[in-house]
Structure 1
């Protein structure tokens, strides 16, 4: 359960008459239990960069890892603002979620170890990491990764079927 309950605002311009906001707990559950997310960052030349990734929801924030030489890591080093999205690829069912915030590097080994345990619990032994020297090190020896935290500033929930668009402000 979230320690933070954001303020929900239904945008009536983009919602069915009488639409109500999905409870934050339902939206949080979608974010927490999604298997795949899409991250959008900004390339140094100003164009968008979008790529899929895995993430975990811990203590009211999303966490993801990436190699230091990957485009998203380079983009975030110059501009930490990003968007993570998840949902269902269906027109008339589910809720799509957009999380806006700033990616902050996590380099505390104790916190990284806790996140490593969460990654493995969610994604299985193929995603086992050792936390040391401020990085995730893959158990296979395949390399290391930076870890980022995105605490939501704004979350959008797009309910399909009985359509509503809700903004959750933190």
Structure 2
């Protein structure tokens, strides 16, 4: 999915009584949601343990070209989970301006003169916290622990229930 790809947009299926509008008036645009995904500093990723129990972890990462990139040690519980079952949920911190992305996490690499340079610029938002990866941080054989989440669907609202919107990719 590239930055120019637009998902299908509609209302989600919610139980009666939630006050979800019947019309498409007020639906969010994917651009509005991507702005939040791009500007956020803190994300939560939920994965599934081998025994079926959920696991959630806060992560730093960047939304670039319609995907979420993050890195970390391959020995973490999260990485061991997604190597076994790539299904994940990515959420932002807010409980009122909500973005929930469902997708799959995969190990990847980024060349220093291409995606690595773009990711390094995007990770610049963490410089004040002492994290400044260079363009070549993810170009080695193990990709520097780089992973990418490719979205399958998303749910978002900034003024529930009137703008509650489902996105399908």
The question of a shared fold, defined as TM-score above 0.5 by the shorter chain, is answered with: yes
Residue 46 (structure 1) aligned to one of 21, 45, 52 = 52
Instruction: Please name the residue that 1:109 is paired with.
Output: 111
What's the offset of the Cα at 1:87? 4.7
> Counterparts in 2 of 1:35-114, with a 5 A limit?
35-90=41-96, 95-110=97-112, 111-114=115-118
What's the offset of the Cα at 1:72? 0.4
Tell me: CA distance 1:169–1:15, structure 2 relative to 1, closer, same or farther (3 Å): farther
Tell me the SS of whatever aligns to 1:127: coil
What's the offset of the Cα at 1:12? 6.5
In 2, Cα distance between equivalents of 1:102 and 1:16: 28
Tell me the SS of whatever aligns to 1:114: helix
Tell me the SS of whatever aligns to 2:81: helix
Q: TM-score, normalised by structure 2?
A: 0.81
Which structure has greater strand proportion?
A: 1
Q: CA RMSD in A?
A: 2.3
What's the offset of the Cα at 1:133? 1.4
In 2, Cα distance between equivalents of 1:68 and 1:12: 37
**CA contact 1:97–1:157 (8 Å) conserved in 2:** yes
Instruction: Please name the residue that 1:7 is paired with.
Output: 8
Instruction: Please name the residue that 1:133 is paired with.
Output: 140
Q: TM-score, normalised by structure 1?
A: 0.81
Tell me: CA distance 1:135–1:116, structure 2 relative to 1, closer, same or farther (3 Å): farther
Structure 1 unaligned runs (5+)?
137-144
Structure 2 unaligned runs (5+)?
none
